[in-house]
Amino acid sequence: MPEASIILQPKKARPFYARHPWVFAGAVARVEGEPADGGEVDLLSHTGNFIARGFFNSKSKIRVRLFSWEQGISLDREFFKTRLQNAMRLRQDLGLLDAQGACRLVASEGDFLSGLTVDRYGQWLVAQFTSLGMGQRKDLIAGLLMELAQPKGILLRTEKGIGKLEGLEFPDEWVGSAPTGATVPILEHGCEIQVSMSEGQKTGYYLDQRDNRLAASKFAAGKRVLDVFCYGGGFTLHCLKQGASQCLGIDQSASALQLAELNLKNNQLANATWVQGDAFDELDKLATAGEKFGMVILDPPRFSRGRDSVDEALGGYRRLHTLALRLLEPDGFLVSCCCSGSITMDMMVDLIAQVGSKEKREIRILEKRGPAPDHPVAVSCLESGYLKCLVSFVR
């Protein structure tokens, strides 16, 4: 049962009746009782009506993360078991539980489990905890995942920066057995990809782009492809498989490019080269040298964390797109991805239109895409839908 109640300011309750899970400190009028950080609390309107139950955290800007809108329900083992079962049932229905494949089993807010992400790489799972309430229950969650998904092992970890944001810190920890090699193979639309769970970026791979890689590759036949921010070469592998004549991948991370080269060899593919360096500098150099490509893929990391840095982030995207257009031959394909939550699809389209007009190029949008469906977007929390991918045809 909850230890305390959090009372909202007047006129602040509407998003929470609509099931938004994040209660920011500014919406809170007062705290009744002495809740522990990570403890269960009830959220009440200023008139004392029950709205929802969640986990409290005095150290986070998100003072309460909400999980249940039913009064009297405990956020206990049974509760989380049901939530995890629901998340797994969706992946089953999506056909994503094949033994050699990979998928996001739990997508935090997208599965009504704010602060928990679980990725499955073949027989192994990586559970990433990004809220204190979830992090304090990591053993409970790991036990449930072992029971429900029966993996060989689970890597429990948090994310860089979460210590500061949430007061959550713990060293990476394996439950069950760790894989014997440094990487584990997964199959993505027929490409074998090596994933390093403990040393790779994020949980080891970018599963949200799975279907966008395939979608982009369908236009790559016969093209010279520039894969900017290539990481393990995901886009490149699919493009080569679809008949791209040649690919050039750029990333600043040497270990990412080692993985990309390994993936290339393992798929018996050739005709790709990798350049380690800053994408902006490398694009500049290629443009100055007069290089041309039939397809340019831009998949940068998140440039913007919050609303404050949107302008700065847009400046980065504008520069990238300007360089990309200079490198793109007439009748080329431009694949623009953006994982900054504060930049919307409409803002991306505007930006591409502006850059196109400045560069005197005619641009037509062929596909407006989002993340793969194992990254569902909760309509009650649109922040869960951060990834945009636009495929355009450029004359």
Report the DSSP pairing between strands 124-129 and 50-56.
Answer: unpaired
Task: Name the residue with the smallest CB distance to ligand SAH.
Answer: 234
Q: How far is the CB of 1 from ligand SAH (least distance, A)?
A: 43
Q: How far is the CB of 253 from ligand SAH (least distance, A)?
A: 4
| 305 token code pair | 């964390």
Q: How far is the CB of 214 from ligand SAH (least distance, A)?
A: 11
Return all residues near 60 (Cβ < 8 A) that are at least 6 apart.
131, 132, 165, 166, 167
**Cβ proximity to ligand SAH, 156 vs 226, nearer residue:** 226
- Cα separation of 266 and 116, whole Å? 32
Calculate ∠ Cα 305-124-188, nearest 5°.
Answer: 70
Q: How far is the CB of 232 from ligand SAH (least distance, A)?
A: 6
**Cβ proximity to ligand SAH, 278 vs 362, nearer residue:** 278
DSSP state of 132: H
**Cβ proximity to ligand SAH, 214 vs 250, nearer residue:** 250
Residues contributing to the site for ligand SAH (CB under 6 A): 201, 206, 209, 213, 229-232, 234-235, 250-253, 256, 278-279, 299, 301
- Cα separation of 200 and 202, whole Å? 7
**Cβ proximity to ligand SAH, 21 vs 204, nearer residue:** 204
- Cα separation of 185 and 192, whole Å? 6
Assess contact for 212 and 236: CB atoms under 8 A.
Answer: no
**Cβ proximity to ligand SAH, 149 vs 279, nearer residue:** 279
Q: How far is the CB of 311 from ligand SAH (least distance, A)?
A: 19
Assess contact for 225 and 295: CB atoms under 8 A.
Answer: yes
DSSP letters spanning 25-43: GGGEEEEES-PPTT-EEEE
**Cβ proximity to ligand SAH, 40 vs 299, nearer residue:** 299
DSSP letters spanning 47-106: T--EEEEEEE-TTSSEEEEEEE-STT---SHHHHHHHHHHHHHHHHHTT---TT-EEEEE
SS3 of residue 338 by DSSP: strand
- Cα separation of 234 and 212, whole Å? 10
DSSP state of 364: E
**Cβ proximity to ligand SAH, 138 vs 213, nearer residue:** 213
**Cβ proximity to ligand SAH, 132 vs 228, nearer residue:** 228
**Cβ proximity to ligand SAH, 201 vs 266, nearer residue:** 201
- Cα separation of 388 and 342, whole Å? 11
Cα–chain center distance at 73: 30
Q: How far is the CB of 269 from ligand SAH (least distance, A)?
A: 15
Q: How far is the CB of 15 from ligand SAH (least distance, A)?
A: 31
